[in-house]
Amino acid sequence: MSGVPIKSAREVALMRQACQVAAETLLGVGEMLRPGVTTAQIDRFVREDTARRGARPAQLNYHGFPRSVCTSVNEVVCHGIPGPRVLDRGDIINVDITSVVQGYHGDTSATFYIGEPGPDAKHVTEVARQCLEVGIRQVREGIRIGDIGAAIQRFAESQGCSVVKAFVGHGVGRAFHEAPQVPHYGRPGTLSRLRAGMCITIEPMINLGNYDVEILEDRWTAVTKDRTLSAQFEHTVVVTKNGCEVLTRRSRPLANSEIFPRVFN
Ligand code: MF3
Ligand code: CO
Ligand code: CO
246-258: pLDDT as tens digits: 999 999 999 999 8
Residues measured by CB to lie within 5 Å of ligand 3, the ion: 107, 201
Residues of the chain short of pLDDT 70, as ranges, are 1, 260-265
Atom of ligand 1 nearest to the CA of 64: 10
Distance CA 178, CA 194 (A): 14
Residue 43 CB less than 6 A away from ligand 1? no
Which residues touch 73 (CB under 8 Å, ≥6 apart)? 39, 80, 85, 87, 91, 92, 93
Which residues touch 90 (CB under 8 Å, ≥6 apart)? 114, 115, 116, 117, 118, 121
Would you state the pLDDT for residue 261?
53
Summarize pLDDT for 107-120 with one digit per residue, the tens: 999 999 999 999 99
**Ligand 1 geometric centre to CA of 149 (Å):** 19
Of the CA atoms within 13 Å of residue 240, those in its CB half-sphere come to 11
Would you state the pLDDT for residue 259?
77
Distance CA 98, CA 19 (A): 8
Atom of ligand 1 nearest to the CA of 67: 12
CATH T-level assignment (fold) for domain 9-246: Creatine Amidinohydrolase (3.90.230)
From 59, 205, 218, 234, the mutation candidate for ligand 1 (largest count of ligand atoms within 8 A of CB) is 59
Residue 68 CB less than 6 A away from ligand 1? no
Domain boundaries in the chain?
9-246
Residue 79 CB less than 6 A away from ligand 1? yes
pTM exceeds 0.75: yes
From 78, 81, 219, the mutation candidate for ligand 1 (largest count of ligand atoms within 8 A of CB) is 78
Summarize pLDDT for 215-224 with one digit per residue, the tens: 999 999 999 9
Would you state the pLDDT for residue 263?
55
Q: 111 to each of 95, 97, 139, 150, 206, how far by Cα in Å?
A: 6, 12, 22, 22, 11
- Amino acid identity of residue 189, one-letter, is G
**Ligand 2 geometric centre to CA of 169 (Å):** 9
Would you state the pLDDT for residue 2?
78
Would you state the pLDDT for residue 1?
57
Distance CA 98, CA 105 (A): 6
